[in-house]
Structure 1
Amino acid sequence: MNDNLARAQMFELLERYTAGSILHLLSEIYEQAAKEAESAGDVAAYERYKMLGHALFVVGQGIDSTNPS
């Protein structure tokens, strides 16, 4: 994959989902990574992934509240 292909795929996603929804989906991926890190006993990774998941979720809410289309 290259940047142009990734950008094209993002445009396709944005035709079906809001930007905030995409960030919410990404936050779920980091939440899952946090659970896996916790199970593996990796406290640092758990905290990092958990914070990333929360940040993406909150930013997604902000984006959708200012640009809900």
Structure 2
Amino acid sequence: MSDDEAKERLREVLAAYSVGSVLHLLSELIEADARAARRDGDDGLDQQLFHAAYTLFVVGLGLHAILPR
């Protein structure tokens, strides 16, 4: 998929979800990857992924406050 195609798909998603909600969903996916890394014993990766997930969640809260639906 090209960047332009990906942007078009994101525009379609943003027609149904706020930007903050999209980031919250993405944070949930990354948190699931962090849990998988923890189960696999990759402590460094799980911590990095948890931090990334939490950061996306907080940024999502801020964007939701600025750009509510």
Deviations 1:12-41 (A, max 9, x none): 001000000000000001100010000000
Structure 2 equivalent of residue 17 of structure 1: 17
Using the size of structure 1 for normalisation, the TM-score is 0.97
For structure 2, the residue ranges without an aligned partner over 5 or more in a row are none
Structure 1 equivalent of residue 60 of structure 2: 60
Shift of 1:67: 1.2
RMSD across aligned positions (CA): 0.5
Using the size of structure 2 for normalisation, the TM-score is 0.97
Tell me which amino acid in the other structure corresponds to 1:40.
D
Structure 1 equivalent of residue 33 of structure 2: 33
For structure 1, the residue ranges without an aligned partner over 5 or more in a row are none
The number of aligned residues is: 69
